[in-house]
């Protein structure tokens, strides 16, 4: 019996003959915040695109015993796989509560969505609390701080009952305090769900990763705990190589 929240096997994505993801195996488990790291162009976002139905792939993605390859994006979302993008996609004119209510009602009929409701569903209230926006229920999403928008977007996945969350650089543009709050939020969410984070920020990764998968040139270069991957000479070479290259570029363009 497969107890992983999500099992990806041999994921391969080709773009006009260019292999962006090359035979990647990845499992996500409830209880962990799993970081996907790797240099630019390693294939991280394309892998997430494949899992969420946005990129065609060969291989297999299985959730709760169901094969998801070939399924439409909305079907995959309904199966409980939620995803955020680098730029938050909240409804800016609507309030925090309305954004969450709509996300919670994704499965409701248009009539029940239009009907004026006396109170917010308990689940919306609980999630607002969890993402730290309980005091902003009536604030239009458009005027939230950058970090708060990201939290709202994560909240929208939670009320939509996603139990596998794939987050693309959730702390980009955040200050120190917001990063820490986000890291703690991700761990609270991971108590009952699986959370995967595509990330470039190594300090954030060190502080909050339960497990790390390193991609390079479309393949899994290493996987394990923070210490295991940080001490892996192949990982060091890829990152140091990239740093040296950047230094060379900086020196050449100085």
Ligand X SMILES: Nc1ncnc2c1ncn2[C@@H]1O[C@H](COP(=O)(O)OP(=O)(O)OP(=O)(O)O)[C@@H](O)[C@H]1O
Give the Å distances, CA to CA, from 112 to 125, 140, 157, 162, 223: 19, 22, 20, 21, 46
With binding defined as CB under 6 A, does residue 20 bind ligand X? yes
Distance separating alpha carbons of residues 221 and 130, to the nearest angstrom:
35
Helix axes 176-190, 146-159, angle to 10 degrees: 10
Give the Å distances, CA to CA, from 44 to 80, 93, 198, 218, 234: 20, 32, 7, 8, 18
| Residues contacting residue 191 through CB under 8 Å, at least 6 positions apart | 31
Applying CB under 6 A, which of residues 24, 26, 35, 44 lies at the interface with ligand X? 44
- Nearest Cα neighbor of 125 from 154, 147, 96 is 96
| Residues contacting residue 169 through CB under 8 Å, at least 6 positions apart | 86, 198, 199, 200
DSSP 225-245: -HHHHHT-HHHHHHHHHHHHH
Smaller CB distance to ligand X: residue 14 or 161? 14
Q: How far is the CB of 90 from ligand X (least distance, A)?
A: 21
With binding defined as CB under 6 A, does residue 238 bind ligand X? no
Rg (CA), the chain: 19
# of chain residues touching ligand X (CB under 6 A)? 11
Applying CB under 6 A, which of residues 42, 97, 214, 220 lies at the interface with ligand X? 42
Applying CB under 6 A, which of residues 45, 148, 150, 182 lies at the interface with ligand X? 45
With binding defined as CB under 6 A, does residue 53 bind ligand X? no
Smaller CB distance to ligand X: residue 45 or 182? 45
Smaller CB distance to ligand X: residue 32 or 199? 199
With binding defined as CB under 6 A, does residue 173 bind ligand X? no
Applying CB under 6 A, which of residues 31, 41, 142, 173 lies at the interface with ligand X? 41
Applying CB under 6 A, which of residues 24, 26, 38, 102 lies at the interface with ligand X? 38
Q: Which stretch binds ligand X (CB under 6 A): 40-48, 135-143, 223-231, 246-254?
A: 40-48
Smaller CB distance to ligand X: residue 163 or 169? 169
With binding defined as CB under 6 A, does residue 216 bind ligand X? no
Q: Which stretch binds ligand X (CB under 6 A): 14-22, 113-121, 223-231, 232-240?
A: 14-22
- Nearest Cα neighbor of 179 from 153, 146, 156, 212 is 146
Residues that bind ligand X (CB under 6 A): 15, 18, 20, 38, 40-46
């Amino acid at each position: 019996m497969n107890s992983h929240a999500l099992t990806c096997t041999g994921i391969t994505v080709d773009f006009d003959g260019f292999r962006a993801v090359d035979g990647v195996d990845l499992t996500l488990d409830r209880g962990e915040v799993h970081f996907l790291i790797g240099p630019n162009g390693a294939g991280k976002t394309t892998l997430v695109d494949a899992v969420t139905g946005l990129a065609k792939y060969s291989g297999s993605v299985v959730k709760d015993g169901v094969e998801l390859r070939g399924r439409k994006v909305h079907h995959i979302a309904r199966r409980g796989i939620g995803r955020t993008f680098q730029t938050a996609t909240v409804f800016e004119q609507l309030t925090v509560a309305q954004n969450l209510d709509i996300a919670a009602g994704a499965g409701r009929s248009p009539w029940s969505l239009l009907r004026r409701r006396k109170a917010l569903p308990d689940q919306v209230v609980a999630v607002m609390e969890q993402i730290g926006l309980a005091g902003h229920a009536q604030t239009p999403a458009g005027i939230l701080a950058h970090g708060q928008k990201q939290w709202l977007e994560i909240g929208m996945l939670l009320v939509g009952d996603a139990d596998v969350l794939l987050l693309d650089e959730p702390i980009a543009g955040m200050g120190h305090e917001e990063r820490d709050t986000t890291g703690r939020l991700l761990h609270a969410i991971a108590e009952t769900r699986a959370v995967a984070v595509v990330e470039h920020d190594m300090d954030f990764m060190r502080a909050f990763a339960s497990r790390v998968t390193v991609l390079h040139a479309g393949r899994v270069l290493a996987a394990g705990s923070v210490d295991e991957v940080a001490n892996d000479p192949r990982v060091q070479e890829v990152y140091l190589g990239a740093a040296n290259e950047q230094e060379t570029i900086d020196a050449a363009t100085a």
